[in-house]
Amino acid sequence: MEEEFGIEKLKEIGVDLSKFGMKVEEALEDKKLSFAEAISLGVFAAPKAIAYAGDAEQIKNEVKDLSQEETEELVAHIADKLDLQHDKIEAVIEAGLEWAASTNKLRLVIKEAV
């Protein structure tokens, strides 16, 4: 499979989606969306995040092809860039990333065994 979405591209995608989530959180913090926040989300953050939806299947397949080392590198990179104001939500997301990494490790072990 051609690596159109290699590890570096997956890192970029993860960071872009994290930034989008952080911008949404920031915009909704005071329960009001200012015009400037709406423009920032609508013009800068959302199109980049939404653009990945069309490539979701390819991205998913590329993530499945990651080695354990690449998975750990991706998780660490995204967790390092993720900085939500609500620590509990950030902890849930980081735990989800860790779970994804361990699931990938299990998949790799099973793949080698079969």
Q: Does residue 67 sit within a domain?
A: yes
CB 84 within 8 A of CB 25: yes
Look at the chain and report how many structural domains it folds into. Answer: 1
pLDDT score of 63: 81
Q: Does residue 2 sit within a domain?
A: no
Q: Does residue 42 sit within a domain?
A: yes
Tokens at 68, concatenated: 């354990």
pLDDT tens string 25-62: 777 776 676 767 666 666 666 677 777 777 888 888 88
Q: Does residue 34 sit within a domain?
A: yes
Q: Does residue 32 sit within a domain?
A: yes
Tokens at 50, concatenated: 């939404």
Q: Does residue 1 sit within a domain?
A: no
Distance between CA atoms of residues 54 and 34, nearest Å: 29
pLDDT tens string 57-96: 888 888 888 888 888 888 888 888 877 666 777 776 777 7
Domain of 105? 7-113
pLDDT averaged over every residue in the chain: 76
Q: Does residue 72 sit within a domain?
A: yes
